[in-house]
Amino acid sequence: MNLDIRTTMMIAAVLALIIGASLQFALRDYPASILPSIRLWVLGTLLLPTAWMLYGLRDNIPDFLSIVVANGLLGLAFAKQVEALRCFMGHPDNRVLIFAPVAAIVLCECLFTYAVPSMNLRGVTVSAIISAQLWCAVAALVEHGRPRHRSHLLTAAAFATLALALMGRVVNEVFQDQKLPAPFAPSPMQTVVFGLAAAFPIAGTLGFLLMCNDRLYQALARNQERLRAITDNLPTIVAHIDTNQRFTFANEYLGQLLGVNPEWIVGRTMLEVLGPTIYDEVKLHVSTVLRGDAVTFDMERNFRGEHRYFEASYVPDVESGHTVRGFYVLIFDISRLKHAELELARQAQHDNLTGLANRSKFDELLKRALARTERNGRSLGLLYIDIDHFKKINDTFGHAIGDAVLREFATRLEGSLRETDLAARLGGDEFAVLIEDINPSDAPENVARKLLAVLKRDFVVEEANLKISASIGIGVARGDTDAKSLLRRADSALYEAKAAGRNTYCVATVG
């Protein structure tokens, strides 16, 4: 069966026009890296119907337009598609390879239309040149050493099929005795060539689209690999959870904390992965983020015998229509920072040498204790303590020995107290003890006597046996008493103890 060549060309022109226009809008949002190739392919596809329409109007327009311009545009269309494929495959720009065939077609068409008129030679030269163009495209797609994807092979097959048909036409025209009487005269070879030419925009474009999609999938896979590599090496929990509270992504760190493979986590619910205890702690935050509001909160848990602190951020995953489709989980392990903060807070309220409360902590707790004393009507005892002749110890043995004496003194002091009592180092060799809820009334004196007793044992510091004693002033507050008054009376009692010969205590009552 022979096709009507003119009708076939018009149908092909309409198909190519529809395909080219559709591609122009469908692919405009593709990544910038492949947009140049897409633009070239669209241009080539749109040039095809222009050439075929001019060619189909052979009897109605001048020969220059229907022969020279039409075949020149046909060559340019295929040149642009070859350029699109070379650009897509990363080949360098080669203007000679692209435009030399177009120039050759125009030259041959002018030669065999006006100088040496020959329809047969026009058909042979145009078919040969375009066939060579198509083989350039095949070579770019199946270049040795490059990975061969199915989409590349499909596109190469479309170009190769049409190239073979054109080569067959050349052979047929050269060796056939009976020449075609007219350009659109039906014949088996004409039917094959023009039928494949009509189908080429569909087959070629399908292959090119598959190539673009393969590139997108490859880029997506590489991005996912990079994301996985980055998130798996962060000391941070990174996850995504959908609206059904099922994990769709979990990084390696979450798996390490839970002692499971991250792949096991994906597809399971938060309740299954975290357990009821942690889930109950975070479910209110989950409800908040699924309403579209980001939420940040702190939490602390024990993992594998280690107490850890975390800062969690739940960020909604919102589509363009403001529909929440899940949320991202970012949980930072702030244990080191938290421990550092706690240590700084401890150091701010404790003496670095002895570990006892410092003056700032003591003053704060004294005010609170006096307020409780006023409310409950009970007594409060305050011991002011100085180590006797401590300056002489420093001058004689050095500050290192003096520091060791202070640490040992603090240890014996704490050993003389109840669990509810507070010992503090106020500075130098000055110490204080706060005793709440005095019962019996001589409890501060009992502490003073106990301390003086434990101080009678020699202080052994670097093989030196030292005799250490202390003077103690005791202030007792009953009723409404302010801190300054109590401190002043305890300090006055301390000086009375020193005046009495040291290594003793004196008591002063306030209120």
Rg of the chain on CA atoms, in Å: 47
pLDDT digits (tens, 9 = 90+) for 92-145: 888 888 889 999 999 998 998 888 888 888 888 999 999 999 999 999 888 755
413 vs 450: CA distance, rounded Å: 9
289 vs 327: CA distance, rounded Å: 7
Beta bridge partner(s), residue 507: 474
- Residue 276, judged by CB atoms within 10 A of its CB (0-12, 13-18, 19+), counts as exposed
218 vs 459: CA distance, rounded Å: 76
429 is catalytic: yes
Task: Tell whether the torsion through CA atoms of 340, 345, 351 and 356 is positive or negative.
Answer: negative
Q: Is the pLDDT assigned to residue 181 strictly greater than 70?
A: no
Lowest mean pLDDT among 67-76, 357-366, 435-444: 435-444
pLDDT digits (tens, 9 = 90+) for 258-295: 888 989 999 999 999 988 988 999 999 999 999 999 99
The number of helix segments (H) and strand segments (E) in the chain equals 17, 12
Helix %, strand %, coil % of the chain (to 5): 60, 20, 25
Domains, in order of start, for the chain? 5-219 (1.20.1070), 234-339 (3.30.450.20), 350-510 (3.30.70.270)
Q: Give the phi and the psi of residue 299 in degrees, each rounded to 5.
A: -150, 155
pLDDT digits (tens, 9 = 90+) for 322-337: 789 999 999 988 888 8
- Nearest 5°: the CA angle 317, 318, 321 is 165
Are residues 474 and 508 in contact, defined by beta-carbon separation less than 8 angstroms? Answer: yes
Are residues 161 and 202 in contact, defined by beta-carbon separation less than 8 angstroms? Answer: no
Options 317, 333, 388, 429, the catalytic residue? 429
What's the pTM value of the predicted model, to 2 decimals? Answer: 0.58
β strands within 215-371, DSSP E: 236-242, 247-250, 295-303, 306-318, 324-333
- Residue 189, judged by CB atoms within 10 A of its CB (0-12, 13-18, 19+), counts as middle
Token duo for residue 191: 């039917």
Token duo for residue 165: 């048909």
